[in-house]
């Protein structure tokens, strides 16, 4: 029988250089007037990575047992987008959402407590890594059913529009999620209703073990935005400046009532689909050399080098920041270890609203 589907990488890739880890390794090109913001973004990325690397270690050591999907390598996307969101916005995530939660300002200690399953966690130990919440900063929940929050985010945008608020809805999802039918219904709906909505595809070229070219006829998902007549941008997701710029444009448009936007950010995850190890040997066509190559397109060092080159950030400042971050993380982990477990008699709490009207 003839092969029923393409099992080799397609000759012509729509993403071109964007999916090539040999490319885009240069220091980011930065504007002098943005230095303060860029330093903050650099630190935010370093912070997110450090938190996730500690979680990876806790998973490897067996101390954290809930499934953890980490975004190490993908930090620029959350940071660049969160730059343009505020606590009245309505962002939603997926199974891989620690970075969204932290970039929006979610409480790091409550994240650690959550992955430990403690009562002090952001979801009181009911959710673990895959169900996190920080409503106070505009992060309204992440869930692991792929594409599950996308229509919910569209609903949040509809509500914003109906109530005349200038909040935007944001859905963070992956390239794999684009294979679910509900994504297309959501894009269509947001488009015809001209909703204040941003769809963010973190295209890391994989859905668990499968390369995008084994799952879709093109390696770029922005074609779905085109099909729904939606404004879109495709950017290097390991370039926080590029993500920031695209997010600014699309969010501004959405807030101004010009309808939804679609931002596809090309990136790569450094760790396995789930857990603390890099799954180079089991991923279908995810090789050690490809992974090593992507590590050279590191969103953090590319920004750091650019800032350092111009004297806007220094090695010693970096070391100080890393040290301070490690101290915060250590404290958070200690607190999480000592925190109380949810009480047995609260098992069924929160199934329904307990308020009596």
Structure token pair of residue 105: 């300002």
- The SS3 of residue 284 is coil
In angstroms, what is the minimal distance from the CB of 155 to another protein? 18
How do 210-211 and 206-207 pair as beta strands?
antiparallel
- Contacting residue, 75, 175, 236, 298, with ligand TPP by CB under 6 A: 175
Residue 155 binds to ligand TPP (criterion: CB under 6 A): no
Residue 206 binds to ligand TPP (criterion: CB under 6 A): yes
Calpha distance 249→127 (Å, rounded): 34
Touching Mg ion, residues 299-318 (CB under 5 A): none
Cα angle 323, 326, 328; round to 5: 110
- Only one of the segments 21-29, 118-126, 190-198, 263-271 lies at the binding site for another protein (rule: CB under 8 A); that segment is 118-126
Residue 204 binds to Mg ion (criterion: CB under 5 A): yes
How many residues are present in the chain?
357
Q: Taking a C-beta distance cutoff of 8 angstroms, is the pair 107, 331 a contact?
A: no
- Number of residue whose CB is nearest ligand TPP: 174
When the beta carbons of 80 and 125 are compared against another protein, the nearer one is 125
Touching another protein, residues 128-147 (CB under 8 A): 128, 130-131, 143-147
- Nearest-CA neighbor of 80 among 103, 101, 108, 98? 103
- Only one of the segments 52-60, 73-81, 102-110, 177-185 lies at the binding site for another protein (rule: CB under 8 A); that segment is 177-185
Residue in this structure with the two tokens 């180079």, named with its chain if needed:
280
In angstroms, what is the minimal distance from the CB of 172 to Mg ion? 11
Calpha distance 221→266 (Å, rounded): 10
Calpha distance 254→45 (Å, rounded): 26
- Only one of the segments 35-43, 142-150, 247-255, 302-310 lies at the binding site for ligand TPP (rule: CB under 6 A); that segment is 142-150
Maximum distance among all Cα pairs of the chain, rounded to whole angstroms:
65
Buried b (16+ CB within 10 A) or exposed e, 328-355: ebeebbebbeebeebeeeeeeeeeeeee
- Only one of the segments 85-93, 116-124, 171-179, 348-356 lies at the binding site for ligand TPP (rule: CB under 6 A); that segment is 171-179
In angstroms, what is the minimal distance from the CB of 272 to another protein? 9
- Contacting residue, 7, 23, 145, 256, with ligand TPP by CB under 6 A: 145
How do 197-203 and 169-174 pair as beta strands?
parallel
Touching another protein, residues 197-216 (CB under 8 A): 207-210, 214-216
Contacting residues toward another protein, per CB under 8 A? 1, 3-4, 7, 65-67, 117-118, 121, 125-128, 130-131, 143-148, 176-177, 179-182, 207-210, 214-216, 282, 284, 341-342, 344, 346-348, 351
Contacting residues toward Mg ion, per CB under 5 A? 174-176, 204, 206
């Amino acid at each position: 029988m003839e092969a029923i589907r393409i099992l080799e990488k397609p000759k012509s890739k729509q993403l071109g250089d964007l999916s090539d880890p040999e490319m885009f390794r240069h220091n980011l090109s930065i504007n002098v007037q943005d230095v303060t913001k860029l330093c903050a973004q650099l630190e935010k990325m370093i912070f997110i990575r450090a938190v996730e690397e500690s979680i990876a270690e806790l998973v490897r050591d067996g101390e954290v047992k809930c499934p953890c999907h980490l975004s190490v390598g993908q930090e620029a996307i959350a940071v660049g987008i969160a730059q343009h969101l505020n606590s009245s916005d309505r962002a939603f995530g997926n199974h891989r959402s620690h970075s969204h939660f932290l970039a929006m300002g979610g409480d790091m200690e409550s994240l650690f407590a959550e992955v430990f399953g403690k009562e002090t966690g952001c979801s009181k130990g009911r959710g673990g890594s895959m169900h996190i919440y920080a409503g106070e900063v505009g992060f309204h929940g992440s869930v692991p059913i792929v594409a599950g929050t996308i229509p919910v985010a569209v609903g949040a945008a509809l509500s914003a529009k109906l109530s005349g608020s200038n909040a935007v809805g944001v859905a963070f999802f992956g390239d794999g999620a684009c294979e679910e039918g509900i994504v297309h219904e959501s894009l269509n709906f947001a488009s015809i209703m001209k909703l204040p909505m941003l769809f963010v595809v973190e295209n890391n070229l994989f859905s668990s073990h499968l390369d995008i070219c084994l799952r879709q006829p093109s390696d770029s998902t922005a074609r779905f935005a085109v099909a729904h007549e939606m404004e879109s941008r495709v950017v290097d997701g390991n370039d926080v400046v590029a993500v920031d710029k695209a997010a600014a444009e699309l969010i501004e448009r959405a807030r101004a009532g010009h309808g939804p936007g679609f931002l596809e950010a090309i990136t790569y995850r450094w760790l396995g689909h789930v857990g603390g190890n890099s799954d180079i040997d089991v991923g279908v066509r995810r090789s050690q050399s490809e992974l090593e190559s992507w590590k050279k397109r590191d969103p953090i060092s590319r920004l750091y080098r650019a800032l350092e080159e111009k004297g806007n950030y220094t090695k010693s400042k970096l070391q100080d920041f890393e040290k301070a971050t490690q101290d915060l993380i250590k404290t958070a982990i200690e607190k999480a270890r000592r925190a109380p477990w949810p009480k047995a008699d609260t098992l069924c709490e929160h199934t329904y609203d307990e308020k009596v009207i």
